[in-house]
């Protein structure tokens, strides 16, 4: 699958996405699965695509809150910054959603935005968190 932004999508879970924290990796598999489901519904009705978008946003709320609790539990020094990145995604998501509803954004562009965000955030910020948990708190 490709888009006009030339991203190579890897929508099936792969070990290269693992950050090494069992719970976070498990939730990321579901998160990526929701992006895949969204991508596959690009050509279906707009109401179905919209419902998958809402499902993904609700899951992001759960997943981010869950990660933030992990940070609180281990006194993660990057908590404030990481949480602000989560909040920034909601703002960007809502902005994209509004543009999609107003027909100023294509389904494929929305999927590309979410995929890029997911990969970038996971491989940088969530990896840092996982490394911290592993080196500071064995469990």
Length of the chain: 139
User: CA 39, 45, 48, 49 torsion: positive or negative?
Assistant: positive
Site mask, Fe ion, residues 32-61, x = CB under 5 A?
Answer: ------------------------------
Which has the closest alpha carbon to 56: 81, 82, 75, 37? 37
Nearer to Fe ion, 107 or 126 (CB): 126
Site mask, Fe ion, residues 61-100, x = CB under 5 A?
Answer: ------x---------------------------------
| Residue 125 DSSP class | I
Position 107 contacts Fe ion (CB under 5 A): no
CB atoms within 10 A of CB 36: 18
Least distance in Å: CB of 71 to Fe ion?
9
Token output for 93: 């998501």
Among 17, 118, 126, 130, binds Fe ion (CB under 5 A): 126
Judged by the rule CB under 5 A, the positions of this chain that interact with Fe ion are 67, 126
């Amino acid at each position: 699958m490709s888009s006009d932004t030339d991203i190579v999508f890897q929508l099936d879970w792969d070990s290269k996405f693992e950050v090494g924290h069992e719970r976070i990796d498990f939730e990321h598999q579901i998160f990526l699965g929701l992006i895949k489901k969204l991508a596959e519904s690009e050509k279906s009705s707009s109401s179905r695509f919209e419902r998958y978008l809402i499902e993904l946003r609700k899951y992001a709320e759960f997943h981010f809150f869950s990660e933030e609790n992990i940070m609180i539990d281990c006194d993660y020094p990057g908590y404030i910054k990481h949480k602000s990145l989560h909040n920034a995604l909601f703002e960007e998501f809502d902005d994209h959603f509004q543009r999609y509803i107003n027909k100023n954004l294509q389904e494929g562009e929305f999927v590309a935005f979410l995929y890029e965000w997911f990969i970038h955030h996971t491989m940088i910020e969530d990896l840092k968190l996982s490394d911290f948990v592993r080196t500071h708190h064995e469990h």
